[in-house]
């Protein structure tokens, strides 16, 4: 069984794009990194599993080594980044109406002590202070991810936009520094300056009201509800049985991976740090099976999304069906109605 990290674990999702880029440049080093931290490269590329803080730092250090030979590895990695790598929070951000809604979602679900968004009159400032052990390429990575998002959503970052990188990001040679500045100019039309200890992106507040290209209010409301339901709550479950608490954890894991047909008992047991036999016994004691539990979550999720107006094709993809036809057959079996009939009945009932 893969090593189970109990303390200070992080979701690997935000780093998948970096790992993809590193695989293209230095596959051998990636395999050494994975072996050292007992990680399955294929698994962490497709599932939102947790890894240790040490493994994340190890990946950062690998990026730093590779960047000595490929100075723009961080910017190239940012091009491979997908918001869905962030799981449900990524879907939330990608379906937001405008940047003001994105900022609200960031503040509620993603911001932490060293990352802030400040609105100063006619200017918005995204400010991030990297930790002391944070390698230089990671500042470029996260800044480029943010710029790629804005650029992809049609937010034009004009002359008034200011990008500040900490002095630690200043390349050691003038040649690489000039190349880096030219890369920001060609990719985003922006001028970068090196100053202080923070990564900052400053742009005109008028951009906050511009509708994003991927905006979808029904999808946003669905994932907003889901993210709030899964946010940490007060420790009120101490009276629940050990099996009930375990089933609750299984449900949360299944919900996070509902779109993946590959996420089964082996992956769940690994995430929970138990054997598959222990998992099966706990399910049996509650008179459940993993298949029926997943089907129940698929049905409930599909019903919620359809009532909110999400198209059947998008629902099918979200709950793990290869196409809308297979989803429609399953939904008919679950509810006695087709997705279209169910939606009409609920909307007119």
In order, the DSSP letters of 98-131 are BHHHHHHHHHHHT--TTEEEEEETTEEEEEE---
Mean pLDDT split into 10-residue runs, the chain, 349 residues? 40 90 94 92 78 88 92 92 85 90 83 74 83 78 91 81 88 91 90 89 86 90 84 48 74 82 83 82 84 90 84 89 92 92 76
Q: What is the pLDDT of residues 13-29, one digit of tens each?
A: 889 999 999 999 999 99
16 shares its domain with 112: no
Q: What is the pLDDT of residue 239?
A: 42
Residue 82 included in any domain = no
Give the range of the structural domain holding residue 255, as residue numbers without chain letter.
232-347
Strands 162-165 and 199-204, by their bridges, are: antiparallel
Residue 225 included in any domain = no
42 shares its domain with 13: yes
Asked which of 216, 247, 264 is the last residue of a domain, the reply is 216
Check if the beta carbon of residue 208 is closer than 8 Å to that of residue 99.
Answer: yes
Q: Using CA atoms, how far apart are residues 165 and 301, in angstroms rounded to an integer? A: 42
Residue 123 included in any domain = yes
Q: What is the pLDDT of residue 234?
A: 44
Write out the two tokens for 286.
Answer: 């509650």
Residue 324 included in any domain = yes
Check if the beta carbon of residue 278 is closer than 8 Å to that of residue 69.
Answer: no
Q: Using CA atoms, how far apart are residues 230 and 222, in angstroms rounded to an integer? A: 13
236 shares its domain with 331: yes
Burial of 37 from C-beta contacts in 10 A (0-12 / 13-18 / 19+)? middle
Residue 193 included in any domain = yes
Q: What is the pLDDT of residue 95?
A: 92
Q: What is the pLDDT of residue 3?
A: 33
Residue 240 included in any domain = yes
Q: What is the pLDDT of residue 9?
A: 54
pTM beyond 0.75, yes or no: no
Write out the two tokens for 180.
Answer: 């880096």
Number of domains observed in the structure of the chain: 3
45 shares its domain with 114: no
Q: What is the pLDDT of residue 348?
A: 64
20 shares its domain with 125: no
Cα dihedral across residues 254, 257, 263, 266: positive or negative: negative
51 shares its domain with 20: yes
Residue 177 included in any domain = yes
250 shares its domain with 211: no
255 shares its domain with 325: yes
256 shares its domain with 198: no
62 shares its domain with 171: no
DSSP state of 232: -
33 shares its domain with 99: no
Residue 226 included in any domain = no
Q: What is the pLDDT of residue 75?
A: 93
208 shares its domain with 302: no
Q: What is the pLDDT of residue 103?
A: 85
Half-sphere exposure of 203 (CA within 13 A, CB side): 19
CATH number at residue 340: 1.10.10.60
- The number of helix segments (H) and strand segments (E) in the chain equals 16, 7
């Amino acid at each position: 069984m893969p090593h189970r990290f109990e303390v200070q674990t992080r979701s690997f999702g935000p780093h998948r794009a970096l790992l993809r880029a590193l695989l293209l440049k230095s596959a051998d080093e990636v395999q050494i990194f994975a072996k050292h931290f007992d990680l399955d490269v294929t698994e962490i590329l497709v599932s939102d599993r947790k890894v240790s803080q040490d493994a994340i730092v190890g990946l950062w250090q690998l990026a730093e080594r590779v960047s000595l030979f490929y100075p723009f590895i961080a910017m190239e990695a940012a091009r491979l980044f997908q918001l869905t790598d962030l799981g449900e929070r990524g879907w939330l951000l990608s379906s937001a109406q405008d940047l003001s809604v994105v900022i609200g979602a960031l503040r509620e679900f993603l911001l932490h002590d060293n990352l802030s968004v400040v609105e100063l009159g006619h200017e918005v400032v995204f400010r991030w202070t990297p930790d002391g052990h944070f390698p230089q390429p990671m500042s470029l990575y996260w800044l480029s991810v943010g710029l790629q998002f804005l650029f992809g959503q049609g937010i034009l970052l004009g002359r008034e936009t200011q990008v500040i990188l900490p002095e630690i990001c200043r390349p050691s040679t003038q040649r690489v520094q000039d190349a880096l500045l030219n890369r920001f100019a060609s990719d985003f039309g922006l001028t970068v300056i090196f100053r202080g200890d923070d990564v900052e992106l400053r742009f005109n507040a008028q951009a906050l009201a511009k509708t994003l290209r991927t905006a979808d209010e029904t999808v946003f409301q669905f994932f907003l509800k889901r993210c709030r339901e899964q946010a940490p709550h007060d420790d009120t479950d101490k009276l629940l049985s050990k099996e009930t608490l375990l089933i609750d954890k299984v449900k949360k894991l299944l919900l996070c991976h509902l779109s993946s047909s590959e996420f089964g008992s082996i992956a769940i047991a690994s995430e929970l740090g138990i054997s598959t036999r222990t998992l099966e016994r706990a399910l049996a004691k509650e008179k459940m099976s993993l298949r029926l539990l997943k089907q129940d979550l698929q049905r409930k999720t599909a019903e919620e999304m359809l009532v909110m107006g999400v198209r059947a094709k998008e629902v099918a993809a979200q709950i793990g069906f290869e196409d809308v036809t297979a989803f429609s057959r399953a939904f008919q079996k679950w509810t006695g109605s087709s997705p279209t009939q169910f939606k009409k009945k609920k909307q007119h009932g």
